[in-house]
Chain A
Amino acid sequence: MSFSYLVRRLLLSIPTILIVTVIVFVLVRLVPGDVVDLIIGTQKFLSEEQILKMYEDFGLDKPIFVQYFIWMKSMLSGNLGISLRTGEDVATMLLQRLPVTLELAFLSIFVSIIIGIPLGIISARKKNTFVDNLIKVVGLVGLSSPAFWIGTIFIVIFSFYFESFTIFGYVAFFENPMKNLQVFLLPSFTLGLMIAAQILRITRTSMIESLSMDYVKVAYSKGLGKNKVIYKHAFRNALSPIITVTGIQLGYLFGGSIVIENMFALPGLGRLLLQSVNQRDYPVIQAIILFIVIVIIILNLLIDFIYTIIDPRITLG
């Protein structure tokens, strides 16, 4: 990957960022009720003037495109703004929540990989047998079960049978690693199982294809051991689509899983996003979305780069 290619790709991603941020900017303002309405609540004792003053302070009195340019300018200078509700620095808020979301994302992806890939490979090798059908059914259940349902079942089971197990109450890893992992166990499995189903599916399809190739037959006839044939020759060739799917899922997870973080009371980005939407805290919402867009763009670039490593036929630039 050449430097000029990297620059070109980054330049090409600018329109994406602009379009997404404009849409979000407009959408959050279309939601009925704004931050001022929510602050005032039912206490209607403020004067018209005082209310106007609040709009002015928040910068919400200006036309929307002016607001957008002001916001963009501030973003470009590296200032993410302050929360309309708490006055906290948005960057600080994000950085506080980010470790939670990242840990959840990586643990979930880890779970989904160690479940999805081996099952997908077994399924492909035993194509159209009982084992394959069983795995397919399990996968289908995983794909179609909503996260809140799986999560609820986990919570019920664990709170019933393992009383000493900590389900809720986030602790940072460096404070108490054991407790931290306990708290993350159920949410990671809830998310991991769902993603595992997708990874399983793509692994199966992709492995079936590469297992049918002549070079796999040649590898067998070379007298290589089963594992060498399957992993070194077949799986290596099946890897690209699996990495694509995993990468896309990781991108979603970096944005924070709203349902799971709320369900398990994890103070991550997803939870912050939901809170901010509820409170119409525009700067926080916009910053989180911008962050997600940028992460996905970088992730895509990374995936394309990984392609070139695993497949010599692909070159970038």
Chain B
Amino acid sequence: MLLEVRNLSAGYKSQGKEIEAVKNVSFSLDENDFLGIAGESGCGKSTLLFSILRLLKRPGEIFDGEVFFKGEDILKMDEETLRKKRWKEFSLVTQSAMNALNPVYKIKDQIMDVILEHSDYTKIEALEIIERVLQMVGIQKERMDSYPHQLSGGMKQRVAIAMALVFSPSLVVMDEPTTALDVVVQRSIMEQIDEIRNTNKFSMIFVTHDISLLFEISKRIAIMYAGELVELGQTKQVYLNPLHPYTSGLINSFPKLTKETKEYKGIPGKIPDLSKPIIGCSFKERCQNRKELCNTRPEFKEVIPGRWVACHFPL
């Protein structure tokens, strides 16, 4: 087991208001795993990732829970120990390609600073590493002398991915890395990531609101709703046989290439306000199967080996 998240709760406290953006989330990740986390915008995906990496900044706060990485609790580790593990053991690719790179430094300097921070390589050796990782994501080495604004959005995102891979970490966390890009570029980057994962083994948590993309690429998938995981399992099984009504609604909401284009319908209603306490199942307002029991909170539990769901009446 590489990563184990147990009962993680986190959120934001500001002006007396408390937003519980991550509620009691548990899941685990194996070596060389690929977990996709899907959920609507604002459901707490970024908050979850940043909590796992202990990057949440005020007013953000972790309320409760444990995050074991290779057996050690990241949330309890002292800061210096954690700092030395960062990027060598786990790295991050952030939401927008545009802002992940510092606009005032050349590409090579931004990759160089992390190499020199955590290793004894000389600058010349570091440059060779930079060349190699850039090549890996399909960027010519001459580009390392460019500033971010001189690159296209797709190239910037490739650079950000290359940067995340310099130390071949065992975990790479990607927060909507392709959201800002057009579909063609997005696809080619996804293929590239797949290819790299074939040669360099690493585990990946890939977060997006684009659930159809996740169904195509991920090995396992977790569905997040209003700060909670509502379903988790092998991607294929979840797709073919969704257990949570929300998952099933999501699957029906995008067109399928295999079927005749008939109708695809959205889920009526909208996600609940996270700043107010939610009683019972968070999805009940929008659920067609809701019953009396749904006024108590359903537990997120393993119903079939490897399949987790938080619903009193799984489909």
Contacts and interface: CB of A to CB of B under 8 A. Distances in A.
A214 B104 contact: no
B111 to A, nearest CB: 10
A228 B53 CA distance: 19
B88 interface: yes
A311 B86 CA distance: 28
B311 to A, nearest CB: 34
A29 interface: no
A223 B114 contact: yes
Interface string B5-21: 00000000010000000
Interface in A271-295: none
B72 interface: no
B147 interface: yes
Most buried by A among B14, B53, B104: B104
B47 interface: no
Contact of A237 (B91, B104, B147): B104
A213 interface: yes
Contacts of A310: 104
Contacts of A214: 94-96, 99-100
Nearest to A224: B117
A168 interface: no
A223 B117 CA distance: 8
Nearest to B50: A217
B103 interface: yes
A218 B92 contact: yes
Contacts of A311: 103-104
Contacts of B53: 221
A228 B87 CA distance: 15
Interface string B52-96: 010101110000000000000000000000111111100110111
Tell me the dominant secondary structure on chain B's binding face.
Answer: mixed
Given A237-B103, A312-B104, A313-B149, A225 B83 contact: yes
B187 interface: no
Nearest to A221: B92
A24 to B, nearest CB: 40
B86 A223 contact: yes
Given A215-B100, A215-B102, A224 B113 contact: yes
Interface in A172-202: none
A217 B55 contact: yes
A201 to B, nearest CB: 21
B83 A312 contact: no
Interface size range on A against B: 20 to 34
Contacts of A128: 14, 59
Given A218-B100, A221-B87, A222-B86, A313 B147 contact: yes
A310 B59 CA distance: 30
A225 B163 CA distance: 18
A310 B147 CA distance: 12
Contacts of A127: 58
Contacts of B96: 214
For the complex, would chain A's binding face be called helix, strand, loop or mixed by DSSP majority? helix
Contact of A217 (B59, B91, B92): B92
A224 B114 contact: yes
Contacts of A313: 103, 147, 149
Contacts of A299: none
Interface string B91-127: 1101110011111100000000110011000000000
B104 A223 contact: no
Contacts of A213: 99
A232 interface: yes
B167 to A, nearest CB: 10
Contacts of A312: 103-104, 147, 149
A221 B54 CA distance: 9
Contacts of A222: 86-87, 91, 113-114, 117
A310 B103 CA distance: 10
B92 A237 contact: no
A220 interface: yes
Contacts of A224: 113-114, 117
A307 B65 CA distance: 46
B306 to A, nearest CB: 30
A226 to B, nearest CB: 9
Contacts of A237: 102-104
Contact of B113 (A221, A228, A236): A228
A219 interface: yes
A237 to B, nearest CB: 6
Contacts of B104: 236-237, 310-312
A128 B163 CA distance: 33
Contacts of B86: 220-223
A219 B102 contact: yes
Contacts of B85: 223
Nearest to B95: A214
Interface string A219-247: 11111110010001100110000000000
Contacts of A219: 102
Contacts of B83: 223, 225
Nearest to A225: B83
A228 B112 CA distance: 13
Closest 8 CB pairs of A and B: A223-B86, A214-B99, A215-B102, A221-B92, A222-B114, A214-B94, A312-B147, A223-B83
12 contacts: A128-B14, A214-B94, A215-B100, A215-B102, A217-B57, A218-B160, A221-B53, A223-B114, A223-B117, A233-B102, A312-B104, A312-B149
Given A215-B99, A237-B103, 4 more contacts: A218-B163, A224-B117, A236-B102, A313-B147
Interface of B: 14, 50, 53, 55, 57-59, 82-88, 91-92, 94-96, 99-104, 113-114, 117-118, 147, 149, 160, 163
